[in-house]
Each structure stands twice: as C-alpha cells, then as structure tokens.
Amino acid sequence: MEKIKDIEILELGSPEEKSSPWSSTILVLKLTSSNGNVGFGEAPTTLMTLPVKESLREVARIFNGRNYFDIEKNNREYYKNAFYISKSIEETAALSAFEIASWDLIGKDLGTPVYNLLGGQFNENIKAYANGWYSDCVEPDDFVKKAKALVNKGYKAFKFDPFGNNYDKLSKKGLDQAVAIVSNMRESLGDDVDLLIEYHGRFAPKYAIMAGQALDPFNPLFMEEPVHPELENGVYEFKKYVNTPVALGERLLNKEDFARFISSGLVDIIQPDITNSKGILEAKKIAAIADSFGTPVAFHNAFGPVQTAATLNVDYTIPNFLIQECFEESWPQWKKSLFSGYNVENGYLKLSGKPGIGIEVNEKILEESKTDVMEPLDPNEPPWVISGTYK
C-alpha cells in the first residue's frame, strides 16, 4: 500500500503578471509517495493566497501518511473534521489541491492518464475560449484589435467584461459603452465567433437586467454571474427578462450547491472550478448531476497550469462538455514554462497523454518562482478585473 510520504506547499509568483492580478501568485502542492512518485495539485488565490496556504497546512494534517488511492475516504475524513467546509472556499480550495495531487499519483502509479480512470476519452476536441486577453482594453477598437490577433491564432471564442468601472449600478454612459464594445466585437469578428459576456457578479438585479436586454441582440453564448453572487433570487428575475443563457459556478463549492442551483432553474450552463469545489472526482459527480438535467459544463479555469491539466482530464470524459476557459495566451513566460504536458493549438486544448494529470515540472523555474507575498492590491482597480480595464 503506497502512502503520502512528503508534502510541500509552494507559493509561486512574479511581478511580471499583468493580465490577471488575482493570478500574480499561484499555490502548487507537491506530494511525494512512498514509492518515490510525485503528484501535483493546485489551489486558487484571488486575494486569499496566504489564508489558502494556511488551509493547505491544515489539510496536510489529515492526508499525511494516508493511502492516496482512497480518494473518497480521505476527503470524507477531512469533511468530518472541517466544521465550516460547506461555506469555506479556503478549505475546499486546499482539499481540492490534495485531491488533484492524489489523482496525479494514482495515474503515475498505474502508468495511465487520469482520464482513463474516469471513464475514458469521450471528447477529442476541447474547444477553448480566450480570457485575460483584453488587458488595457477600454474602447471598442481596443477589444477588436486584440481579439483579431487571437482569431489569427485559431481562437473562435472570447470572454470579456465590457462594463468598465460600473459597480452595483450601471450608468447610461456605462451601458452605451458596453453595447458599443459588444456590437463592434460581433460586427468585426462575425457570427461564427462565440462572445461570452462576463459580469463578474457585480450588479444589482435591475442593472444586470438592463445590461442583459441591451446585449441580447448580439447573441452571446452566455452571460456569466450577472448579479451579486449572494442575490440568488435576482438570477430568477434576470432570466425572466433576458434570453441569453446564464452561466455561473466558480463560487459554488460542492455538488450539493450545484444540485440546488441546477434543479431550481437558476443556471443554464455550470462553471465549476476544480481547484475550489473539492477536486476531480467531485467535478465528475457535478457534471453527472448537470447531465441528468441536460445542463452543459464549462469549467472555470483562471489560475495556473496544474489547474488546466486537471480540468482537461475531466473535460475529456464528460458528454455534456461545452467549452473550456483558457488564460494561457495571457500568461507571463514563467507560468507558461512552469509545466509542460498540454498545449493550445488552433483554439483547442490537448493533453500529452502522459500518466497522471499529464504534466511535468520545470524544477529550475519552480525554484526561481518561489515567493511568500500577498497579491498586489490596487486602490483604483479590484483584483478580479483584467488589468487596465476598470476605467
């Protein structure tokens, strides 16, 4: 019986991260097994790097010395001890990293990719949508110019936030600007390119509806988190008046949350985040719940390469896969080079097929990127926006 022998919790980062301030740091977990194999996991940050790092230490107390094949048992053992886990993203994030790293070890021990252990490959083509690409875009032409550069690389789907610095309320000027941005994107890129509208959960329902009705005519693939996330009833109101499908889920933490949202008709497209909703196996269960309601899955994926690789392993296996978020084009070089094992080609993501989650680390970059800081906090721009757009 192989066990977890050594646990390393690594905070990595660089000041050269520009497009996504929340991702200027990433948390990588490194598990070494008693047979010498190494498995990697990842936990999200988003202005909580240090709290999540401390939570990783808490989860380590449960997982250290355990048989990493016992995914369900180990998760349940932590659940039993963690009184606030149903509402604590710090805890579910930390637990997710251990779960992902355990699967990486299992795949390496068995000499096969994780997706083969989850039912095998159902999807051969994992269509990506670009995110993070529109840093410093304010005017419609700024968005169009940057999007066209990625169209030339094969991308056929773009997510973006056209709402500037409007928050809670949406001014007439802000609405006009959003319409100008989206209409120019649609006119310039054509109807065969998917446009995905990011609200970032920033509006009261009245203003979210105002924006939704104005942007409906441009046929977005979905509108994401249109109202503040705690205002669940506001999503009902939004869906009464707006025709575009609603996507959400990056702030939901477990399959029970998703079951409630899906069964009550609050969401049309779910966006679980494998690094904060308890990992790979929970993601597979969430996708199955969604499939039973005919709901597509588009996993949230905004942090680092371990997250991307783990997410792709689930994407490969689920029949209700829709599209995959991809920040890779916007990453600084250190993050692009940190791991190898998957690539983006002509707008599609592909795994290497190597055992585990399919990636190999560049130890030199890993060592050079170690840090111990909080994410930057700009008083003029929240960390959740794409840099240079909150104007």
Tell me which residue has tokens 């709402």: 163
C-beta neighbour count of 333 within 10 angstroms? 10
Q: Give me the active site residues, please.
A: 200, 300
258 to 76, 102, 255, 291, 293: CA distances (angstroms): 19, 24, 5, 12, 11
CA geometry: angle 341, 193, 339, nearest 5 deg: 15
Residues 6+ apart with CB under 8 A from 278: 75, 92, 95, 96, 99, 253, 254
3-state secondary structure of 6: strand
d(CA 113, CA 135): 35
67 secondary structure, DSSP code: -
Residues 6+ apart with CB under 8 A from 176: none
Evaluated on CA atoms 187, 189, 195, 197, the torsion sign reads negative
DSSP 339-359: EESEEEETTEEEE---SBTS-
d(CA 195, CA 189): 9
Residues 6+ apart with CB under 8 A from 244: 197, 212, 215, 216, 219, 220, 222, 223
What is the gyration radius of the CA atoms in the chain, in angstroms? 20
